[in-house]
Amino acid sequence: MEFTAQQKEKLNEAKALLTALGLPKAQCKDRSAWVFLALANIKPSDDWSSSTATLLLIVNIMKFIRNEYGMDYKTGSRETIRKYTLHQFEQARIVDRNRDDPTRATNSKDNNYSLNQSILEILAEYPHGGWLGKVQNYKDAVPELKAQYDRALDLHKIPISLPSGETITLSPGKHNQLHADIIHEFCSRFIGTGGRLLYIGDTASSRKEGGKLMFLEAEYLESLGVTPMSHEKLPDVVVYDEDREWLFLIEAVTSHGPISPKRWVELEEAFKDCKVGLVYVTAFPDRAEFRKNAADIAWETEVWIADNPDHLIHFNGERFLGPHVKAT
């Protein structure tokens, strides 16, 4: 692909700046330089001093690169840009992620990126003047910038109080907030003393992407006859009611679906050797989310809605809450 002299000049200047900022070699090559130009909103004829810090989705970044520099990254490149450029930019405190809403889930389609103020100060003088001095100031400040960023993220993490008294924290996001509501609100109302939490995941990424395992009592599950399985096969939350010997399998619905007939069959197969009764529950954050999924919910399961926590919706069966006799 042929680039104009101005396009080549801007690309080389971006690569030189990334090198000066101390980025690893892999993040000082063409792809990262194109991304940096997009983040700064620098077109081939622009001065670096005109840089801005607009909130950009990855699709916006790719569109800018294509329109202004003729480099056409295909749709499948989004994950590569996120993993191998933006992630490192974020770690180096070159960009902020979700400056408009730090509680946004990591797997949200609305994740955005923007240059932070210290980088804009460098660009105000790049490639002339005292920019190298400002680069050194940036490098000196990076440890504190990282610490500030980590503290800001910690403020938005969601605490989960376990029955043991231990506390774990989940990444911010609507799905993980529903996990917390299940533990603190559903369990306290419908599992007596709260039951024993045996599994919970952190959906920093979706189930499809291999969400992060946060808490798992594998040995206890095995004692109930549950064979070891990858956590992708487990429902979002698993809680054991020791008094009634019921194992609650709870799906939290904010993006992926409820306990549908297909999911019910999958869970029946996964827990076929379980020695105790299985209770299937789909949890929703609100009625609007429930209405969107109501047609897909399997019979002989329960529904719980977090913004109306004192009630359950029962989908048929011979008893209101509890394990159901299997058809032969």
Query: Does 23 map to a domain?
Result: yes
Q: What's the domain count of the chain?
A: 2
Q: How does the average pLDDT of the chain come out, rounded?
A: 86
**Of 92, 120, 155, which residue sits at a domain end?**
155
The helix/strand/coil state of 323 is coil
User: What would the mean pLDDT of 56-85 be, rounded to a whole number?
Assistant: 93
- 219 and 252 both lie in a single domain: yes
Please write the tens of the pLDDT for every residue from 186-223.
Answer: 988 998 776 889 998 765 443 333 345 578 888 999 99
The helix/strand/coil state of 273 is coil
- pTM: predicted TM-score of the whole model, two decimal places: 0.57
DSSP state of 51: -
Domain CATH number, residue 244: 3.40.1350.80
Please write the tens of the pLDDT for every residue from 104-141.
Answer: 777 778 999 999 999 999 999 999 888 999 999 888 88
Q: What pLDDT was estimated at residue 91? A: 87
- 12 and 131 both lie in a single domain: yes
How far is the C-alpha of 252 from the C-alpha of 259, rounded, in Å?
9
- 258 and 219 both lie in a single domain: yes
User: What would the mean pLDDT of 258-276 be, rounded to a whole number?
Assistant: 93
pLDDT-wise least confident of 51-55, 192-196, 238-242 = 192-196
**Of 155, 187, 202, which residue sits at a domain end?**
155
How far is the C-alpha of 194 from the C-alpha of 242, rounded, in Å?
10
- 140 and 214 both lie in a single domain: no
**Alpha-carbon torsion 48, 52, 55, 61, what sign?**
negative
- 169 and 291 both lie in a single domain: yes
280 neighbors 298 (Cβ within 8 angstroms): yes
Q: Residue 145 is which amino acid?
A: L
**Of 123, 155, 187, which residue sits at a domain end?**
155
- 165 and 279 both lie in a single domain: yes
- 292 and 233 both lie in a single domain: yes
- For 130, phi then psi, to 5°, come to -95, 35
Please write the tens of the pLDDT for every residue from 84-99.
Answer: 999 899 988 899 999 9
Domain CATH number, residue 45: 1.10.10.1820
Query: Does 250 map to a domain?
Result: yes
Domain that holds residue 147: 5-155
pLDDT score of 328 more than 70: no
Query: Does 328 map to a domain?
Result: no
How far is the C-alpha of 28 from the C-alpha of 19, rounded, in Å?
6
